[in-house]
A = this chain, B = another copy of it.
Amino acid sequence: MTTERPLRVLLADDEHLIRGALAALLALEEDLVVVAEAASGPEALAMALAHRPDVAVLDLQMPGADGVKVATSLRAELPHCRTMIVTSHGRPGHLKRALAAGVRGFVPKTVSARRLAEIIRTVHAGNRYVDPELAADAISAGDSPLTAREAEVLELAADGAPVAEIAERASLSQGTVRNYLSSAASKIGAENRHTAVRLARERGWV
């Protein structure tokens, strides 16, 4: 691990404080070099295309496009580049979305920098790494019992919009919307759609 070509890393996080600090810590690792930094989704994509990193470390929540979206685009445009997600809130749903997008690493920000460096190497080697606790959460939350439309309608109900508005935005009749909301709520075990939205959010089903 001395004379080898260093592992090129892209760092994307909208929080300057964290991104800078992270870059500084990763720079301490001899075999890693941070070749680019980005503060938003689109910027991350542009930087990746310009600097062609081996591994892209993406924050989940960024302006423009979140980490998973960036990972999806990256997979298409820069297939050799491995992607991993670092996040503060480990919702089960995010993990699922990320894995579906071809992300190979998923870690909470509670890990240490040294550990993160190890995981970057693991991911670069072609292996996967998912934080055990997050994985356990995802398993215990189970798979979503909701159908595609139920989930969609529930999402439209998220900000407290009345049925009429949801119906219009989904191009459905009001009756249909109420049916979907009703079945979604009963599947989730909620008394009304508002608590249903909350619970579905917590379990990563929307």
Contact = CB atoms under 8 A, between A and B. Distances in A.
A16 B112 contact: yes
A49 to B, nearest CB: 24
Given A21-B21, A21-B25, A88-B88, A195 B159 contact: yes
Contact of A25 (B20, B112, B162): B20
A18 B109 CA distance: 7
Contacts of A109: 15-18
Contacts of A196: 160
Interface string A100-129: 000000001111110010000000000000
Contact of A16 (B15, B17, B20, B110): B110
A4 interface: no
A111 B20 CA distance: 10
Category for how many chain A residues contact B: 20 to 34
Contacts of A116: 17
A176 interface: no
Given A159-B195, A159-B198, A195-B161, A86 B17 contact: yes
Q: Which of A18, A108, A190, A192 has the most CB of B within 10 A?
A: A18
14 contacts: A14-B110, A15-B88, A16-B109, A17-B22, A17-B113, A17-B116, A18-B21, A20-B25, A20-B113, A24-B25, A39-B110, A159-B198, A160-B191, A162-B192
Given A21-B22, A21-B24, 6 more contacts: A14-B110, A17-B18, A18-B18, A18-B21, A21-B113, A159-B194
- 9 A-B pairs with least C-beta separation: A21-B21, A160-B194, A160-B195, A15-B109, A17-B109, A16-B110, A21-B25, A16-B112, A18-B18
